[in-house]
């Protein structure tokens, strides 16, 4: 199964349907950002603390990673950053170009898979902003390795995550308001469900219903309460493990 192709089609469709993570910011957001009033979210509701960004973003090389949709990229470009938006969905990237054209912003868009950033040379960015999207790839390590490679040493990665507890419960029971643990973690739509359920998820073809890793949200649980936001300063290569947590600011979004 080609997960990347599946999710490309699924997110292209989500753009047509107006999924909230595909709706570009309005001109008023860009004009406020030009005057220094701005915020972005990388999880559903809580803005990233301003102190987590470099003090001066003008001229800062920012990679918005798996972050198409005309939201984070245009806002940061309006503040003066040199923004590259990287995403797997042509329609999502078109949203960024739409805002760039409408509001006269310079934004570079690049289509690709977040696990392969070979389009960029080593140490070419000062900051990566990465909204909740790595749940769409089956293995996350290549993403962290690539992020490390393209970041200048000592710079920062801001990443939103689904908290894995989102994937524990039986979706059918949740519809009845019952939280009953059914799955073990890590969850995957590929391997954790029955063959029948998997076929149904695939037929649905909806990005928010099919996740390679670690799982699904289906908007059943209150998504906004089970996301975390991390800032990794002086980002280190290798596994994201307990040693790395010493470098992490964690910002529960519930």
Ligand X SMILES: C[S@@+](CC[C@H](N)C(=O)[O-])C[C@H]1O[C@@H](n2cnc3c(N)ncnc32)[C@H](O)[C@@H]1O
CA distances from 227 to 79, 99, 107, 188, 217 (A): 26, 27, 28, 17, 11
Under rule CB under 6 A, how many of the chain's residues touch ligand X? 21
Q: 214 preceded by cis ω (within 30°)?
A: yes
Residue carrying structure tokens 């995957």:
188
Q: Is 38 or 243 the residue whose CB approaches ligand X more closely?
A: 38
Point out which span in 61-69, 189-197, 213-221, 242-250 binds ligand X (CB under 6 A): 61-69
Burial 21-39 (b: 16+ CB within 10 A, else e): bbebbeeebbebbeeeebe
Residue among 33, 121, 113, 16 at smallest CA distance from 72: 33
For the chain, give percent helix, strand, coil, nearest 5.
35, 20, 45
Least distance from ligand X to the Cβ atom of residue 129, Å: 9
Helix, coil or strand: residue 120: coil
| 191 contacts 164 by C-beta, under 8 angstroms | no
Q: Is 113 or 218 the residue whose CB approaches ligand X more closely?
A: 113
Least distance from ligand X to the Cβ atom of residue 231, Å: 17
| Contact pattern from residue 128 through residue 157 relative to ligand X, giving x for each residue in contact according to CB under 6 A and a dash for the rest | ---xxx--xx--------------------
Q: Is 183 or 213 the residue whose CB approaches ligand X more closely?
A: 213
Q: Is 11 or 235 the residue whose CB approaches ligand X more closely?
A: 11
92 touching ligand X, by CB under 6 A: yes
Point out which span in 46-54, 81-89, 189-197, 226-234 binds ligand X (CB under 6 A): 81-89
Least distance from ligand X to the Cβ atom of residue 118, Å: 13
Exactly one of 82, 84, 88, 192 binds ligand X (CB under 6 A); that residue is 88
Applying CB under 6 A, the residues found at the interface with ligand X are 4, 7, 11, 21, 66-69, 71-72, 87-89, 92, 113-114, 131-133, 136-137
């Amino acid at each position: 199964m080609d997960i990347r192709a599946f999710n490309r089609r699924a997110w292209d469709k989500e753009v047509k349907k107006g999924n909230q993570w595909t709706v570009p910011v309005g001109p008023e957001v860009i004009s406020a950002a030009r005057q220094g009033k701005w915020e972005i979210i990388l999880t559903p509701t809580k803005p990233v603390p301003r102190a987590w960004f470099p003090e001066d973003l003008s001229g800062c090389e920012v990679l918005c990673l798996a972050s198409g949709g005309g939201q984070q990229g245009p806002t940061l470009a309006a503040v003066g950053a040199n923004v590259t938006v990287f995403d797997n969905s042509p329609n999502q990237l078109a949203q960024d170009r739409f805002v760039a054209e409408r509001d006269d912003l310079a934004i570079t868009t690049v289509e690709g898979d977040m696990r392969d950033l070979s389009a960029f040379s080593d140490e070419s960015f000062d900051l990566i902003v990465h909204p909740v999207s790595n749940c769409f790839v089956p293995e996350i390590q290549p993403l962290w390795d690539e992020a490390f490679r393209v970041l200048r040493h000592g710079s920062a990665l801001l990443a939103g995550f689904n908290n894995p507890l989102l994937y524990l419960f039986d979706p059918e029971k949740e519809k009845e308001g019952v939280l009953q643990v059914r799955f073990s973690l890590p969850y995957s739509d590929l391997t954790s469900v029955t063959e029948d359920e998997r076929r149904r998820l695939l037929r649905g073809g909806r990005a928010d219903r099919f996740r390679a890793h670690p799982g699904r949200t289906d908007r059943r649980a209150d998504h906004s309460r089970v996301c975390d936001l991390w800032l990794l300063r002086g980002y280190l290569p290798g596994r994201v493990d307990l040693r790395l947590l010493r470098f992490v600011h964690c910002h529960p979004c519930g």
